[in-house]
Amino acid sequence: MLPVERVIGEEGLTATPEGLRLAMRLPWYRSLPFSTVEIPSVAIDGADVDLSNAIVEYDGARWPLAELGEQTNAFWFVRDSAFLVLPGHSAEPGSEHSVSLTVNVNPPYIPGMKRTNPQTSTLRVNLITREDLKMSTATGPQVGVTLYSFTNEWLTRQFDLESLLREVARREMGPNIEIIGFQNFKEFPDVSDDFAARFKDLMAEVGLNPVSCAINSDRFLKPGQQPIDDASLVEYHKRQLRSAKKMGFSLVRYQFALPVELLPEIAPYAEELDIRMGVEVHAPMWAGHPAVQAYGEMYEKLNTPVLGWIPDFGGTASRIPESMLNAARKAGAAESLLDKLKEIWVEPGMSHEKAGKLFQWGLANGHAPAHIQAAVLAYFILANNDPKSWAALVDRTIHIHGKFYGVSEDLVEEAIDYATILPLFRDGGFTGTLVSEWEGHAYDTRDAFEQVRRHQAMCKALFAA
């Protein structure tokens, strides 16, 4: 036994509204999965405590003590305390009690070995309120970035993958990162073990966390021909899921191009890999869109935690960004064409229908096809839907695309009402990651890093308000 080992954590014993809460430390030299740990006994003042309804808390997660043996993917970091909650047990704050705790460890690389570690200490009871407990266990929304924001810098070869990740880390724009598989990984969709290992080593070295890998539902691999068959499409997704998992991503972004009826064939595979799938609700879609409703019904039917939503705020823009209009003006578009663009943009309908309508009107009114083409981009990357509508998706949201087109020096986004949207997720209990996704690069050459810096500052301020 190491001289510094203990099983009772420094935080000691706390009285909470739920019951007593005992801090525990892992009596080993390295982190272990909770499935290899047993807590056979606790005694307070010599009386054994019934552990049948005890709960383990760690890093914002909770599970019944009885299910500890199932937690093969939850690792107990050797420097952290986990907490054993004893519902129904109470003690007067400030009182002192003799507490005995035994923690058994079954090292996963030494078959048949079980190490028993008992400790008895006299502990003074601390007091924690409901609000304190909420603050101590909830992590709140996190802010990160998708490398998609740096598309211009990537395509002009200013960075390779390693130098781009190092620059993101240097500017403290992580640690949570989203990467588009087919944009940044040359080997995608079939990443080799060697590449995956090197990628994970690099991420660990620079202190970044690979949260989301964006995968694609490419049904038309041969343009002009029929889409690939369902079995091929399912396997195409599985290949991407395997690569994402191999590189350490905890979730993937997938698309509505995957027919909803194929989800029952893919969801079990995601469960097997232990990786979540979030479908991107991208403009012109929004919470009330028929396709979103159909997916929601399938989600309810499958009832699995691996499936969720990834809202993209471009679907609830309040206006067309002035920077986008300026880019069209620079390309030669006349004000009369832009006025018609804005008029059609607020009308209901699909993106291609609106684009067709503007082309028809533009040609009939003497506008050049190149000028019309410069204007119709707005129909495909942002839509005018109610920003409050995201509230309907908060409960199953696992990740967020913080789409934006330009943030001013005083931290205001030019097209999207962030002050209305972000509190919906913050107050709704979302604790995942919002990644800054600058899509202004599609028509603008402003410094992407500066835009992301402003966007993250704006989001952090609104989440903290």
Q: pLDDT digits over 38-80, tens only?
A: 999 999 999 999 999 999 999 888 889 999 999 988 999 888 9
Query: How many Å apart are CA 46 and CA 66, to the nearest integer?
Result: 23
Question: Residue 57 to residues 30, 62, 74, 432: CA-CA distances in angstroms?
Answer: 19, 5, 11, 18
Same domain membership, residue 455 and residue 402: yes
Q: What is the pLDDT of residues 238-278, one digit of tens each?
A: 999 999 999 999 999 999 999 999 999 999 999 999 999 99
Same domain membership, residue 336 and residue 315: no
Q: Write down the pLDDT at residue 3.
A: 54
Query: What proportion of the chain, given as a percentage, has pLDDT over 90?
Result: 79
- On the CB side of 231, CA atoms within 13 Å amount to 0
Q: Write down the pLDDT at residue 175.
A: 93
Alpha helices by DSSP H, listed for 129-229, are 130-137, 151-155, 161-170, 181-184, 193-206
Q: Find out whether 374 and 327 touch, Cβ atoms under 8 Å.
A: yes
CB atoms within 10 A of CB 63: 15
Same domain membership, residue 339 and residue 305: no
Residue numbers of the domain that contains 111:
8-137
Same domain membership, residue 233 and residue 175: yes
Q: Write down the pLDDT at residue 127.
A: 67
Q: Write down the pLDDT at residue 210.
A: 96
Tokens of 10: 């420094």
Least trusted range by pLDDT, from 39-43, 90-94, 326-330 = 90-94
More confidently predicted of 314 and 221: 314
The pLDDT-based confidence of 128 (bands split at 50, 70, 90) is low
Taking only Cα atoms into account, the Rg of the chain, rounded to an integer number of angstroms, comes to 26
Q: Write down the pLDDT at residue 178.
A: 98
The pLDDT-based confidence of 134 (bands split at 50, 70, 90) is very low
CATH no. for residue 63?
2.60.40
In the predicted structure, residue 303 carries a pLDDT above the cut 90: yes
Mean pLDDT value of segment 19-24: 93
Q: Name the domain boundary from 120, 137, 154.
A: 137
**Domain assignment present for 73:** yes
**Number of domains observed in the structure of the chain:** 3
Same domain membership, residue 196 and residue 209: yes
Same domain membership, residue 177 and residue 65: no
Same domain membership, residue 440 and residue 412: yes
Same domain membership, residue 190 and residue 168: yes
**Domain assignment present for 29:** yes
In the predicted structure, residue 236 carries a pLDDT above the cut 80: yes
**Domain assignment present for 37:** yes
**Domain assignment present for 179:** yes
Query: What proportion of the chain, given as a percentage, has pLDDT over 70?
Result: 96
Same domain membership, residue 311 and residue 394: yes
CATH no. for residue 264?
3.20.20.150
Q: Name the domain boundary from 137, 171, 192.
A: 137
**Identity (one letter) of the amino acid at 344?**
I
Cα-flanking dihedrals φ and ψ of residue 36, to 5°? -95, 5
**Domain assignment present for 2:** no
**Domain assignment present for 78:** yes
In the predicted structure, residue 337 carries a pLDDT above the cut 80: yes
More confidently predicted of 105 and 138: 105
DSSP-assigned letters across all residues of 247-273: TT-SEEEE-TTS-GGGHHHHHHHHHHH
In the predicted structure, residue 130 carries a pLDDT above the cut 90: no
In the predicted structure, residue 400 carries a pLDDT above the cut 50: yes
**Domain assignment present for 76:** yes
Q: Name the domain boundary from 336, 358, 379.
A: 379
In the predicted structure, residue 133 carries a pLDDT above the cut 70: no
Same domain membership, residue 239 and residue 123: no
Same domain membership, residue 335 and residue 301: no
